[in-house]
Chains A and B, each alone.
Chain A
């Protein structure tokens, strides 16, 4: 039962159209900084493009996918019409308006500050107002997810919340608290400077606030992908979910450990002391636990599918898996990229190893592999799963989907692996071009060309995605089969009350964040010399 079809479609379409524009910009960036392009280009255009690419990919795409997917889950998992559809539309239009406002400001070159807000460089206030509107629109979604869950709980007292909705609401609460860091940074520090009310800003404090959001936002991006892993993948490949409880444990652990770890992004910064850096490093190690649990549970669920199809022995079940099924391909590729990206992540979070790779091209390689590789691939699969429900299109063309998934995987590997390599050699990131005639840089030139070709495959893949989704609207309408989530391997088990609600986990989330951020923030806010002159970007 999916009634809010238009609402969900609107979210996914705006997300994917913005994504298509941003991916073309990304490929253009790879081209102009490679030796394939004329050596001299206008660097300002490059940074303008990076700002737009990052803003869309980091804020607009994942937020809209999480919102649209969340509304669909609410109806499909709770089996009741969405409450507050009008509010949901209001949230949607706020996000669209904010995106448009930020986009126009960026296109005019008045916001080339990159999407990581690091003062004292300050963009036009319209850019920040745009981002604020996107976030406020998404808070409407957070509230609606909570309201819908509570209405269902009232109607079904004592019942276990369906796993998909449990993860969905965990993601909403995670986002609500995650976004507070950047919201405080923008509203308290940046906007007054951007509007010209103050001419100094505490750059070190701003970075600490941003780090609160900067790492946890990754787990907000990741939630929809994990919901697909647990509640759709086993069903789609003919298996069973190995453990419903593990899914709940993973979701609540993300709530607890996402926020109090952000300072590991500031290991090389002078404004945070060694003690808090160490605490955040140790906490970051903890946040790998839910992912390691998920790897076990999903591989076990896939094994069940292989054995149900007649696979035997230690490895025989792998051969018996439905390799012709796009979801099987997608989850495999996603796990491979999650494996490489996760190993890189453990290096980044390590108190000492990080020094080798901090702010080099390695970091770009790492987050493209994890986010654009492992996570966005699952966004595509979520759309493919929902599309017959949303459009009544009947089955989508499976071989075209497989081609799209293959191209995305190969393209992402060719794009990001060379970045990891040159990052280790100390190549800095965010460069409009390199001087390829320099003898130290010349041997690295091929990696930039390779990444340009990897990016080209990604662009082709993105166009195939949009083609498949658009064509579904034009096929003759059929009544969609009822949507189902994965069945458990051992159904009927009791869900502990602690894993059927969020109270304890939210208290831990807020408590740990305050403990891990309270002192550094208080200390930085009280330093007089930390306030430095603002640098406005673009003519204003």
Chain B
């Protein structure tokens, strides 16, 4: 269109292209850094979202397998590992109150019997979805002792807003004293 570009115009265009290029490098560096951070924290601290495609039959959930009633709640295994098993259904968690130790890794294994549910424990990173047909599992460590709220965070029907459980985080010694190996713990001290 323009027969000859005036020199001043050509100069400003060169400046513009250089500025643009600098910005592209900055953007590229930011993105590369973000991805690097995800890789390093994922590999180094094994900090990863819950991630095993593990199915479970909803129709026999209450009748057999690891999610039968007397297997729900917190157990201290013979190998010293703490496992919490729980079930979500409209509109309650089973159990409604969970006891866990502070400063020890705790593995959660949960599923849902009907709709999709989910939970987050207070201000911690314990946060997962419970999808019928699948077992959600993740391991976390609680830093502070005390009681935390555990609401269902996925809309699961009209009673969703009433679906709250509690998590009691005990000092490790107190937890170990109460947990005789293999037995379930309850929020009410026996």
Contacts and interface: CB of A to CB of B under 8 A. Distances in A.
Nearest to B118: A359
17 contacts: A47-B160, A202-B133, A204-B131, A267-B49, A268-B49, A268-B50, A270-B53, A277-B49, A289-B28, A352-B49, A356-B125, A426-B124, A428-B120, A430-B155, A492-B2, A493-B13, A532-B132
Given A272-B53, A352-B49, A428-B120, A529 B38 contact: no
B157 interface: yes
Interface stretch (B54-62, B79-87, B95-103): B54-62
**A272, A346, A532: residue with the most chain B Cβ atoms closer than 10 Å:** A532
Interface stretch (A21-29, A100-108, A114-122, A312-320): A114-122
Interface in A248-295: 266-274, 277-278, 281-282, 285-286, 288-289, 292-293
Interface size class of B (residues with CB under 8 A): 35 or more
A511 interface: no
B31 interface: yes
Contacts of B151: 426, 428, 431
A524 B53 CA distance: 9
A124 interface: no
Contacts of B49: 267-268, 274, 277, 351-352, 354-355
Interface of B: 1-2, 5, 9, 12-13, 16, 19-20, 23-24, 27-28, 30-31, 34-35, 37-38, 41-42, 47-59, 114-116, 118, 120-125, 127-137, 149, 151-161
A491 B129 CA distance: 53
A274 B129 contact: no
Contact of A281 (B38, B158, B160): B38
B114 to A, nearest CB: 6
A289 B31 contact: yes
A351 B55 CA distance: 23
Contacts of B121: 426
Nearest to B164: A435
A314 B35 CA distance: 33
Nearest to B109: A270
Contacts of B52: 270, 273
A289 B28 CA distance: 8
Nearest to B57: A529
A367 to B, nearest CB: 16
A533 B16 contact: no
A324 interface: no
A420 to B, nearest CB: 14
A44 B162 CA distance: 12
B81 to A, nearest CB: 20
A207 B47 contact: no
Contacts of B41: 351-352
Given A431-B151, A490-B13, 15 more contacts: A44-B158, A47-B155, A121-B156, A242-B16, A269-B134, A270-B51, A292-B27, A293-B24, A352-B42, A356-B127, A359-B118, A425-B123, A491-B1, A492-B2, A532-B58
A440 B151 CA distance: 12
Interface string A346-365: 10001110111011100000
